[in-house]
Chain A
Amino acid sequence: DAGITQSPRYKITETGRQVTLMCHQTWSHSYMFWYRQDLGHGLRLIYYSAAADITDKGEVPDGYVVSRSKTENFPLTLESATRSQTSVYFCASTKGSHPHSPLHFGNGTRLTVT
């Protein structure tokens, strides 16, 4: 089925480990985003990408790295995980061709850093 999928759905890792969250969309959308959801903060933008090989920082980029070598994939890497990065991570995409194209979200990855 077409859509946007995130993997894994759940991940437990230890402080200091590197972990990569995957995001794949089948719509060929230009724009892709990573948000994190935390109690008391709502959804905050980590990084986004307007096209392959074009990425930019969002509101809370520290400690994260992204890449976009292919239009359909937008992995998010925590280089050295910290407890403060325990969160639910959502990937989203949009065509971006229309100025007001809504975002389409994946079902999230719940990450716990111990």
Chain B
Amino acid sequence: DQQVKQNSPSLSVQEGRISILNCDYTNSMFDYFLWYKKYPAEGPTFLISISSIKDKNEDGRFTVFLNKSAKHLSLHIVPSQPGDSAVYFCAASQREKPTGANSKLTFGKGITLSVRP
């Protein structure tokens, strides 16, 4: 049973426009959410995160929105640039007992974003 779902496998947008990448989750115990970006032949790199106590987190061109009641989050990229073309993974974690750490991540399948010049 997949706990983190990225139902759209790909997205293509024009340079300068907004990219919206969606993610849904089923585990109500998740309390921290992250987005990772992955280029071919490289490992994923951390992009942005959000705690469940917030509904929005912004970092430059990247904004993540969290709707806890809908168990849905989205990543907005504005404006989109060709260098943003990559695979984007949504990930979630929950506090582990007894350490309280949130280290173990559950990932979605990823969305391939293509930004057309």
Given contacts A42-B108, A108-B43, contact A102 B89 (CB under 8 A): no
Instruction: Name the one of A35, A41, A96 contacting B103, with C-beta atoms under 8 angstroms.
Output: A96
* Interface size class of chain B, counting residues whose CB lies under 8 Å from the partner chain: 20 to 34
Among listed A43-51, A60-68, A73-81, interface-contacting one: A43-51
Given contacts A31-B103, A50-B99, A96-B103, contact A103 B46 (CB under 8 A): yes
In the bound complex, CA of A41 to CA of B44 (Å)? 15
Given contacts A96-B101, A96-B103, contact A107 B43 (CB under 8 A): yes
Main secondary structure of the interface of B (DSSP, over half): loop
Residues of A within 8 A of B74 (CB): none
C-beta contact mask, A93-109 vs B, less than 8 Å → 1, else 0?
Answer: 01010011111111110
B residues near A (Cβ < 8 Å) are: 6, 32, 34, 36, 41-46, 49, 51, 89, 91, 93, 95, 99-110
Sample of 17 further A-B pairs with CB below 8 A, known A90-B43, A103-B36: A42-B110, A43-B44, A43-B91, A43-B107, A45-B104, A48-B103, A48-B104, A59-B106, A90-B44, A96-B103, A100-B32, A101-B103, A102-B46, A103-B105, A105-B43, A106-B43, A108-B42
23 pairs, A vs B, C-beta closer than 8 Å = A33-B104, A35-B107, A42-B6, A42-B89, A42-B107, A43-B44, A43-B107, A44-B107, A45-B105, A45-B106, A59-B106, A92-B43, A96-B103, A99-B32, A99-B101, A99-B102, A100-B102, A101-B103, A102-B34, A102-B46, A105-B43, A106-B43, A107-B42
A residues near B (Cβ < 8 Å) are: 31, 33, 35, 40-45, 48, 50, 58-59, 90, 92, 94, 96, 99-108
